[in-house]
Amino acid sequence: MRKQYDDFTQMKLKEMCKSISDMTYTYLDPETQLPTKVPASHYEKILDQVKEQYMGEITSRQFLTIMYNQLSALKKEDDKYFQQALLCMDLGINPKDMRVDEQLALSMTYDFIYERQKNMKKDYHFLDTEVINAFKETKDNPVIQAQAIKMSNDYEETHEQEESIDRDDDYDMDYNY
């Protein structure tokens, strides 16, 4: 039995993008109860991206996952030294160069962190509250997210234009004697 997906994968890029745009239009926004309008050109721009850009995004996420897994393992191995190492990094202190007063402060700060973790349980965050609040505000605010997406899109357009100019310059250099 042939499915819509089978036909979709056989379409050319422009047809595919128009089809996605039509599918998106049929989604009614729960807040406004209006169809969602996304021009086909938006999807065409995304699907027509150079494979390297897409691979770069995948590689970045994989690198983040590797770092996360390593940090999680270090935290599980010895939470005290993990927390103290993060403090040293944040304060710009190299542990091998620490003076006695810094060693005492680091030890006492860890005790403070430990007590806060114990008392606050799931509500404890190592990062400063303002950083956590900024993260939560960005995560929960579609206006801020839209601004970030626009800035990202503007950057990509500028970068693509610069690459195009560079390619044109290389072309000109090859044939200008």
CB–CB of 58/80 below 8 Å?
no
38 found inside a domain: no
In the three-class reduction of DSSP (H, G, I as helix; E, B as strand; rest coil), residue 28 is classed as: strand
Prediction pTM value: 0.50
55 found inside a domain: no
3 found inside a domain: no
Domain count, the chain: 1
**Six-digit token string for 156:** 């990509």
In tens, the pLDDT along 117-166 reads 888 888 888 776 766 676 678 778 888 878 877 787 776 677 666 766 66
What average pLDDT score do residues 40-53 get? 77
Task: Supply the range of the domain harboring residue 93.
Answer: 78-127
| Backbone angles phi and psi of 93, in degrees to 5 | -105, 130
117 found inside a domain: yes
112 found inside a domain: yes
**Six-digit token string for 72:** 């999680």
87 found inside a domain: yes
94 found inside a domain: yes
From CA 70, how far away is CA 66, in angstroms rounded?
A: 6
Q: Specify the pLDDT at position 177.
A: 43
From CA 122, how far away is CA 132, in angstroms rounded?
A: 13
Strand partners, 28: 35
121 CA to centre of own chain: 27
CB–CB of 51/81 below 8 Å?
no
For the ranges 66-75, 97-106, 119-128, which has the lowest average pLDDT?
119-128
122 found inside a domain: yes
pLDDT at residue 176 is higher than 60: no
Report the percentage of the chain scoring pLDDT > 90: 16
- For residue 177, what is the DSSP state? -
